[in-house]
Chain A
Amino acid sequence: MASTEIARQAGEGARAVPLAGHVGFDSMPDQLVNKSVNHGFCFNILCVGETGLGKSTLMDTLFNTKFEGEPTQHNQPGVTLKSNTYELQESNVRLKLTVVNTVGFGDQINKEDSYKSIVEFIDAQFEAYLQEELKIKRTLHSYHDTRIHACLYFIAPTGHSLKSLDLVTMKKLDSKVNIIPIVAKSDAISKSELAKFKIKITSELVSNGVQIYQFPTDDESVAEINSTMNSHLPFAVVGSTEEVKIGNKMVKARQYPWGTVQVENENHCDFVKLREMLIRVNMEDLREQTHTRHYELYRRCKLEEMGFKDTDPDSKPFSLQETYEAKRNEFMGELQKKEEEMRQMFVQRVKEKEAELKEAEKELHEKFDRLKKLHQDEKKKVEDKRKSLDDELNMFKQKKTAAELLQNQAQQAGGSTTLKRDKERKK
């Protein structure tokens, strides 16, 4: 008689009443399931791991099909993510599966920024969903959800411990996505080494505070199997799409001179466990955790970054409208301020330039005045010169006139004198 979440929420205010017959709402889960099946499911897996750890092969093996892609080389300059979406169908269940692979992870000399493209990718999917959720006219029920539901982290089968790149990357990812660490190509490790390796890995994860995905144990129908599986983490897997005849069956296996590793043999590797947990038992829980935990965390951080709060300083809850209006007022105020600032700046410049120009004008005026004075001086000089010349000319003229007059008189007198002398001679 476990109480459901609804019942817990109801609390007081709802009383339990007995039913006098079969009403029929026990078909609700079926109705819900029918709707989901009609709508189709979607699941997105991210595979993180160094080049050559068998990521693509494992995906092919898990989903019993050959996905796209050629093996990548080791010479990638940075980490990029390549994703492919496939539409799969099994009985009446349609699944839109997106497989995202990291290309070039671990190949660079300097791996400090390797985790960044992965984190950016995961955040971008959250952001896309958040934007859709915030739209005014939105279509959430037909939105193609691209958020990553599970991250398979491929650990290289060194047999010793985790690489520092692994620890750094997983630490950056553990609050954003459900991490399921797996030991890749585990047919390179012997059973005893593997046990030690698993213990070492788990203890390193714990001591570094990395939160990996735990299979849920709160639902009784799956609690037992999930808790057993939790103790087998990380899963040591082998992938293969080639088939070998064992007994009278064709099984997926890898053939070595010393024996054949059967993928689906639980003694050989944990592949079956991984498939069971990832797909058959907990797929829905992985989707739910992504939505209710990781996405909510991203959303909360993003909204807080943008300045949204749930309560004002007096602890009264904000309504959505108030929040948006406040934001909008702030925004408008900002724009106005910017406008004002720009105008002010221009006013300032104009003032400065005006002052400059006034200075130049003043200088020019002064120059003009100087030249004018100079010119006047020169003019005066010329005038003086002219005047003195005129005076001289006048004087000369006077002198000349006076001299001529004298001469005339003298001549006349001389003439008369001459006449007198002549007359005297004659006498």
Chain B
Amino acid sequence: MFTFGPQQPKNLEGYVGFANLPNQVYRKSVKRGFEFTLMVVGESGLGKSTLINSLFLTDLYSPEYPGPSHRVKKTVQVEQSKVLVKEGGVQLLLTIVDTPGFGDAVDNSNCWQPVIDYIDSKFEDYLNAESRVNRRLMPDSRVLCCLYFIAPSGHGLKPLDIEFMKRLHEKVNIIPLIAKADTMTPEECQLFKKQIMKEIQDHKIRVYEFPETDDEEEMKMVKRIKDRLPLAVVGSNTIIEVNGKRVRGRQYPWGVAEVENGEHCDFTILRNMLIRTHMQDLKDVTNNVHYENYRSRKLAAVTYNGGDGSKSKGQLTKAETSDDMSPLAQMEEERRDHVSKMKKMEQEMEQVFEMKVKEKLQKLRDSEAELQRRHEQMKKNLDAQHRELEERRRQHEEEKGSWEGQQRILEQQKLDASK
């Protein structure tokens, strides 16, 4: 027996030391290491691989490990590359998932299907690992973020873009990017961005949203980023010297488009947001929202299947399931329902049985009573007849007696007369 008290805030009179908890958490997380799975989707030639290399300042795709764009693909593939990077004592297992061939065919219907299948299969792996009886440390290979590359046409989203985002926005955090932003002037870019955001809203596509915070400074920064969505980026593998500084950039006859220059493109914003400030939030949204959606749909399907199969036996099983329970708890409740229904049925059957038996017994009793009555009646009748006969006999005897008496007198007279 136990009782839970209400929660009360308490004031401490002195330093206890649990303010050190965050440090403990920090220590443990460093020891564990981190992992992140990033997906890039877009047509060939939009600079996806270059952007990845720029983001992570490494040659993820190099001559030894050529990027998917260098391999000719006939159908849409989903390929992953895993690298281990280390910085400041923090190890990160980075998985980049690429989709070569996306949007490259003449007929691109369903080119998003391999992508959806891949994301779902990772959710499935995680769900199975989470549901095992013996659980080990679960590797988390779920896709945490999808960078969608929009071609810099200047005219708004293509039907393929809209279709893809509509199908994926409830499975993964989508961050739409305008690729090769150095082909547009700032004004063109501004217009293009407005156009895209309007179309996204019109089609009710939910791209990744930055969380609200209580911190004013942070909110200001978040607002600034929101105004510049979708981010227009430029990537580069080459380092060029500009004004004595070595920067990544693209060299043109008319100048150098610097990757990390905030006035040239939004790359820095992307990197800061993706890696330096919101990586954890992307993980959380994937875990708490996208994965949970997948899981609850999967588990609800299991219970509904079971429910349908038993319809043949009819009334005794509950057709609705409540999402607020585990499938096992639901079965428990169904069992309880079934038990009470059976009890009721049993009672009813018992009642009917009793009633019928009573009826039959009553009938028998009635018959018996009737029989008895008739017998009594009959007996009475016969007795009456007996008595009647007795009476007649008596009379007859009397009569006979008196006649015989008379006869004797007459006889006597005759005898007397003949003397």
User: Which A residues contact B (CB, under 8 angstroms)?
Assistant: 2-7, 9-10, 13-37, 41, 43, 62-65, 67-68, 78, 80-93, 95-96, 100, 117, 121, 124, 131, 133-138, 141, 219, 221-222, 275-276, 279-285, 288, 296, 299-300, 303-304, 306, 308-310, 317, 319-321, 323-325, 327-329, 331-332, 335-336, 338-339, 342, 346, 349-350, 353, 357, 360-361, 364, 367-368, 371, 375, 378-379, 382, 385-386, 389, 392-393, 396, 400, 403, 407, 410, 414
Contact = CB atoms under 8 A, between A and B. Distances in A.
Interface in B352-378: 353, 357, 360-361, 364, 367-368, 371, 375, 378
B31 A308 contact: no
Interface residues of B, number: 132
A403 to B, nearest CB: 6
Interface of B: 1-22, 24-36, 55-60, 82-93, 124, 127-128, 131-135, 137, 139, 271-272, 275-281, 284, 287-288, 292, 295-296, 298-303, 305-306, 309-310, 313, 316-317, 321, 323-329, 331, 334-335, 338, 342, 345-346, 349, 353, 357, 360-361, 364, 367-368, 371, 375, 378-379, 382, 385-386, 389, 392-393, 396, 399-400, 403, 407, 410, 414, 417
Given A27-B276, A136-B303, A382-B389, 13 more contacts: A10-B84, A16-B84, A25-B276, A65-B11, A82-B3, A90-B17, A131-B329, A137-B323, A141-B287, A280-B17, A342-B346, A382-B382, A389-B389
Contact of A324 (B20, B327, B400): B327
B128 A83 contact: no
A81 B10 contact: no
A334 B120 CA distance: 34
Q: What are the 7 closest A-B residue pairs judged by CB atoms, nearest first?
A: A4-B33, A6-B33, A134-B326, A26-B88, A328-B306, A284-B24, A31-B280
Given A86-B8, A141-B288, A392 B396 contact: yes
B299 A324 contact: yes
Contact of B92 (A25, A89, A93, A136): A25
A24 to B, nearest CB: 4
A85 B392 CA distance: 111
12 contacts: A6-B92, A24-B275, A25-B279, A32-B25, A34-B280, A35-B284, A36-B22, A63-B16, A64-B12, A65-B13, A335-B313, A339-B342
B80 to A, nearest CB: 9
Contacts of A83: 2-5
B298 to A, nearest CB: 7
Nearest to A34: B280
Nearest to A135: B326
Nearest to A84: B5
A328 B371 contact: no
Contacts of B21: 41, 93, 95, 283-284
A137 to B, nearest CB: 4
A3 B33 CA distance: 9
B133 A25 contact: no
A275 B396 contact: no
B2 A82 contact: yes
Contact of B25 (A9, A36, A63, A389): A36
